[in-house]
Amino acid sequence: MQVGLGCLLIFLVMAGLMYSRRISALLALPLMAIAIALIGGIPGTTILKDVINAGSMKLHNAYTTTMIGAILAELVNKHGIAKQMVRFVAEFSGDNPFLLGLLMTLVTALLFSSLGGLGAVIMVGTVVLPVMLSLGIPAITAGGLYLFGISIGGMFNLANWTLYIDILHVAQNQIVAYVVPFAASLTLILIAFLTFELKKLSNLKYALLSSFILIASVFAYWQYAQSLPQSKAAAEPNQLSLLLAAACFIVLACYAVFRQKRRLVDLPAAAFLTPVIPLLLVLCCGWDIISAFFAGISFCTLITWRIDSINILTRSIIEGAQSVMPAVLLMIGIGMLLNAVMDPHVAASIAPLLQAIIPTKAIPFIFAFTLMAPLALYRGPLSLWGMGSGIVVLIQKSTSLGGQAVMSMLMSVGQLQGICDPTNTHNVWIATYLGTDTQALLRKTIPYAWSAVIAGLVLAVMFGYVSW
């Protein structure tokens, strides 16, 4: 028990240091791992071998996927696909603020299923936000919509899924089964937010129609997913999709040769499909995430081919990897922390504390994690990208909550952090760009983000992840 209390004290000290900005998560996590290992009595040779060395490599699949996804994101950026897509949708949506706000948010979500990082937020935001403001959408509302779009897109960001796969050992098809309805729930909350903020009764018909289309689309996808054989659901590529992918590659290669000979530099409309390609391959065809990313990179390179495409691809590989290096280093620290807390002596000391405070029944699960949702802020104990990376594994190992229950809890409380946290760099930039402050964005979005937390936890119970 003393070891458990000592580990808890380390968590609290590091949380305080990160909250006060005296230390970054990049340094806090490996220091926390070594400190916990020392308090837990792990021998020095084992710390070097298992905590530092093996821990650094533990999440190799996650950070490899993150880097490959970043290459695709950089390609989308360099070819101007994101900006052109936003401009096209803005022209298509006309001068109706409700339709414009909804479509801009959904386009943002689509883009951030591939994009990531502050640079992408600035790139897309400098196009999306002025378009919203031009039709009279209030600045705070526009900022809230943009944050919702980033968060919804983040749910479908395939690189983020690998952390759940590697840390909680949740299967890819299990993530899909939860993410699709949860993202639909968050989109319904987004529609309610937009309807209420614009304060026009005439928008109610658009809200009802868009909600009906959303629900019908999710139901249709659910029926399709249920019709698939279980072997296909386990990330086993659909054979027909492989044949179609091979045929498309040949056609695109011929098209690239045509563009090379004609010296074309325009952006074909089909290039807008780039962010969708990996998603469709994973959601509908059972492809692995890395394979789907490579397919997206190949599609983007060939469909936009021009004389300097090889140079663009090479720069995208280098700059894409550079852009996610902080996330990769963070994952190295997470791996060290995981190995430290999973040491038998340390785990046995912390487990009784977690068993005493973590609810494992349906109703307490919903209420407790709804109230504890703010602990996901500042990379706290309910953040998979921070201190929570070690705790959540112990929750899974020491309580009756399985990987799917822990995953759904993390995704649910993560909405509060992703949308509302005043210390997020993207929140700070959005507030500055709109001439307001992060606290105003927090006050505007927190009722809706907390509603999303509740919706996600209720879904987990409905799906049977938590027992009654």
How buried is 44 (Cβ within 10 angstroms: 0-12 exposed, 13-18 middle, 19+ buried)? exposed
Q: What is the pLDDT of residue 233?
A: 42
Q: Closest by alpha carbon to 271, among 282, 285, 256, 284?
A: 256
How buried is 27 (Cβ within 10 angstroms: 0-12 exposed, 13-18 middle, 19+ buried)? middle
457 contact partners, CB below 8 Å, separation of at least 6: 365, 366, 369, 370, 408, 409, 412
* Residue-wise pLDDT tens digits, 353-402: 777 778 888 888 898 889 888 877 766 677 777 666 667 777 777 777 88
Q: ∠ at Cα 148 (124, 417), nearest 5°?
A: 110
Q: Closest by alpha carbon to 357, among 328, 386, 399, 314?
A: 399
Q: Counting runs of H as helices and runs of E as strands, what totals does the chain give?
A: 24, 0
The token duo for 417 is 């952090």
- Residue 324 backbone dihedrals phi, psi, to 5 degrees: -105, 10
Q: Which amino acid is at 237?
A: P
Q: What string of DSSP letters covers 165-177?
A: HHHS---HHHHHH
Helix (H) or strand (E) holding 27: helix 25-39
Question: If DSSP codes are grouped into helix, strand and coil, which group holds residue 167?
Answer: helix
Give 315 or 324, the one with higher predicted confidence. 315
Question: d(Cα 467, Cα 170) in Å, to the nearest integer?
Answer: 18
Q: What is the pLDDT of residue 232?
A: 42
Please tell me whether the overall predicted TM-score, pTM, comes out greater than 0.75 for this model. yes
Q: Does residue 124 register a pLDDT over 60?
A: yes
Q: Does residue 1 register a pLDDT over 70?
A: no
Question: What distance lies between CA 85 and its chain's CA centroid?
Answer: 21
β-bridge mates for residue 361, sequence order:
467
* Residue-wise pLDDT tens digits, 50-74: 888 988 888 888 888 888 888 888 8
For the chain, give the mean pLDDT: 83
Q: Closest by alpha carbon to 390, among 419, 351, 423?
A: 351
Q: Does residue 318 register a pLDDT over 80?
A: yes
